[in-house]
Amino acid sequence: MKNLLFIGDVVGKAGCDFLRSKLSGLKRSYNIDITVVNAENSAQGNGITPQSAESLLNAGADILTTGNHAFRRREAFPLFDSDYILRPANYPEGGAPGKGICTLDMGAYSVAVINLMGTAFMDDLDNPFTVVDRLLEEADTPNIFIDLHAEATSEKKAMGHYLTGKVSGIFGTHTHVQTADEAILGGHTAYITDAGMTGPELSCLGVDSKAVIEKFRFHTPVRFTEADTDCFLCGVCVEFDEKTGKSHKIERIIVR
Ligand SMILES: [Fe+2]
Ligand SMILES: [Fe+2]
């Protein structure tokens, strides 16, 4: 049996620093073999930068996934040449840099990670259901984990049921709020609609709530800044059989 840790959207420098302070202890206590972190908001003011990516990789992340903020910063583009930094696979081929699948060689076994983005209430990318079919044909390991970065609960649930028995785990990101519906689908596939976020807890998704309230009340332009409150870390730990790709256990994690 092996253990994979998946951590939801890390927000800003505060989120990166908090992750760095907690990750090695968490990896020890859960006996973690592989750590996947969603980094789409890891830079100050959103997106991912070389500095924020380096801080997460140095903290102990093996693979970074992203989402709708993947290309927010121009300086991020070369990052996606890395084998271990993913953007959603359903960006159109030919223009967007990077790729949406990678395989981690663990010696006696390997693990593939796929990053996808939902299309309900989000950018109109390629259909994630047909894109994932193609990627699953390419993957030559039974151990496949997916970060589905999506807004709609229904789209994430549908993908979970669609991929039951075909992947080891599928974790939602993007809403920044951890859901309490973790399950092992079909005795095989670990699932949660959203893994939650890592960063300032008393906030609007990591952002200072004053500015967000102003935006909703008056619809005037505001500058979003990172909230200055205590951080928490949200994610899930999955125990899986690396020979069959079957997950046996999923546990929600919140560290304050
Ligand atoms: Fe996010
Ligand atoms: Fe997002």
Give the C-alpha separation, 134 to 194, whole Å.
24
How close is the Cα of 1 to the center of ligand 2, in Å?
A: 31
Task: State pTM to two decimals.
Answer: 0.98
- Ligand nearest 38 Cα, by number? 1
Give the C-alpha separation, 109 to 243, whole Å.
8
- Ligand nearest 151 Cα, by number? 2
How close is the Cα of 233 to the center of ligand 2, in Å?
A: 17
Judge whether residue 3 has pLDDT over 90.
yes
How close is the Cα of 243 to the center of ligand 2, in Å?
A: 33
Residue-wise pLDDT for 71-106, tens only, equals 999 999 999 999 999 999 999 988 899 999 999 999
Residue-wise pLDDT for 211-255, tens only, equals 999 999 999 999 999 999 999 999 999 999 999 999 999 999 999
25: CATH = 3.60.21.10
Active site amino acids: 69
Domains held by the chain: number:
1
pLDDT score of 94: 84
* CB proximity list for 188: less than 8 A, separation 6 or greater: 164, 165, 168, 245, 246, 247
CA–CA distances in Å: residue 80 to residues 9, 71, 131, 211: 17, 10, 19, 32
Q: Which domain holds residue 16?
A: 2-255
How close is the Cα of 58 to the center of ligand 2, in Å?
A: 23
Which three-class secondary structure state does DSSP give residue 137? helix
- Ligand nearest 149 Cα, by number? 2
Residue-wise pLDDT for 172-223, tens only, equals 999 999 999 999 999 999 999 999 999 999 999 999 999 999 999 999 999 9
